[in-house]
Amino acid sequence: MERNEIGYMSAVDVAAAIREKRLSPLEVVDAILSRIEEVNPRVNAYCTIVAESARKRAREAEAEVIKGAELGPLHGVPVSIKDLMFTKGVRTTFGSKIYENLVPEEDDIVVERLQEAGAIMLGKTNTPEFGFMGVTDNLLFGPTRNPWNLGRHAGGSSGGAAAAVAAGMGPLATGSDGGGSIRIPSSFCGVFGLKPSYGRVPRGPGFPDWQTLSHSGPITRTVADAALMMEVIAGRDDRDRRSLPDTGLRYLPLADKDLKGMKIGWTPDLGYAAVDPEVVAGLTAAVGVFESLGADVELATLDIEPTGLTFAVIWAVTFASKYADMLGEWREQMNPNLVAMIERGKDVLATDYARAATAREEFWRAIRPVFEKYDLLLTPATAVPAFEVDKFEVAEIGGVKGTPTVDWTPFTHPFNFTGQPAASVPCGWTDEGLPIGLQIVGRRFDDAGVLRASAAFERAAPWADRRPGV
């Protein structure tokens, strides 16, 4: 098998091929490391590569296969780890010069579980400084570029993770999502990203939780791969007191379920957002696919207020609480946009922060009736396709101009407020060949419904065989 073909195999198929001795773990790791060596200099998805330790672990994994040892569900399967997650003995920078030389002494729970299941870490993927924005660029490593068009962003803050998966540099990637950071890059890069229910995947030690906004989850090419990864990383761990109890749910079988009996609402704009016409066209086509699958689909009538300003207040105060004291020493070595956000957060009054927290709860009261009526809500994942890599904001969307910008991520952060499960699914392509992402939002704790719908859509409108030219 050609090395590039191994790079684009699904994790499910890689695991099966290793168990059946059709591929060795070392063959797989070597193939993907070769792909990384070829492609990463142009894409900049990986910021740290641990080739020597990956090959060492692959040889150990092969010995375990040969001697007939009991194999974990991800035995020999390569995985990348976002550079916001602690990795024992491997540099973890958070995309910041402040932590350029940090080497943790322990693993994040997700990393620990992946490795216990047999996965082999290839390296760390790029992220904006502390994951603060929706595109991936930092003063340490520079921008991550979109494999579909190297002049465009890969999204953020899990941009390195999504770009790596899209470009055949590993089937599995870890992401984290405090306001869209799994779904935004998955949308831009044409891969599948799942933000599980809040607490479904335990977090830490290491990077902070960000006021119950942060979720850890998988970024993969296929829904089945994400389901397989969820079987490993989901479940209670008392090191994270907010982690949810185990439910006994098997995620992988959900990839074979149909949508009969499901009631689905959809909205192109949440009632207020400016959206690129090509994105709306992709969503509309996706609605037709769901109708063809037997779901009861209708346009949802929403009575909700924009949440962008509320999110901005909570986000800025959260960063200020963590990093304001570092400005004196590190200001000139931090992203200027991050510094400006921290400065804004320092000036927010306690009463204004309390009002933002109240507005967050009011959003739940407004959106809850929608999920009493519908099992799922469909929206765009992002308001625009991937934009130019030298820009950090979008000045115009669908003829609507902002002062100074308009909100190009209005669909993701509301469901960090509520903690609901949500996925980004590739649902089409622009005239320039850029991916368009569909967001599927489930009821509280209904990760199963989101995966079931995502997999059914994938079977009807598959995307994984389409590859970028990089």
CA–CA distance, 185 with 180 (Å, rounded to integer): 8
Q: What is the mean pLDDT of the chain?
A: 96
Size of the chain, expressed as the number of residues it contains? 470
330-375 pLDDT tens trace:
999 999 999 999 999 999 999 999 999 999 999 999 999 999 999 9
Band of the pLDDT at 92, cuts 50, 70, 90?
Answer: very high
Identify whether 80 is a catalytic site residue. no
Answer yes or no: CATH 3.90.1300.10 is held by domain 3-309+347-460.
yes
Within 8 A by CB and 6+ apart from 108, the residues are: 81, 85, 86, 87, 203, 204, 205, 206, 207, 216
Q: 396 pLDDT exceeds 90?
A: yes
Three-class DSSP labels, 36-81: HHHHHHHHCCEEEECHHHHHHHHHHHHHHHHCCCCCCCCCCCEEEE
Which residue out of 24, 80, 96, 157 is catalytically annotated? Answer: 157
pLDDT of residue 1: 67
Active site residue 181: yes
The active-site residue out of 82, 96, 187, 197 is: 82
Task: Please return the burial class of 304, using the count of CB atoms within 10 Å of its CB with bins 0-12, 13-18 and 19+.
Answer: middle
- Looking at 176, 181, 214, 216, which residue is catalytic? 181
Q: Does 404 score more than 70 pLDDT?
A: no
The Cα–Cα gap between 384 and 404 comes to 17
What backbone phi and psi angles, to 5 degrees, belong to 403?
A: -125, 95
Q: Which residues make up the CATH 3.90.1300.10 domain(s) of the chain? A: 3-309+347-460
Identify residue 257 by its one-letter amino acid code.
K
Position 3 pLDDT exceeds 90: no
Active site annotation includes 10: no
Is the pLDDT at 443 greater than 80, yes or no? Answer: yes
What's the rounded mean pLDDT across residues 299-326?
Answer: 96
Model confidence pLDDT, tens digit, residues 35-85 = 999 999 999 999 999 999 999 999 999 999 999 999 999 999 999 999 999
Residue 94 confidence (pLDDT): 98
33 Cβ neighbours under 8 A, 6+ residues apart: 49, 51, 54, 55, 122
Rg (CA), the chain: 21
Residue 257 is predicted with a pLDDT of 86
Collapsing DSSP to helix, strand or coil, 298 comes out as: strand
Q: How many CB atoms lie within 10 A of CB 68?
A: 7
Tell me the whole-structure pTM to 2 decimals: 0.98
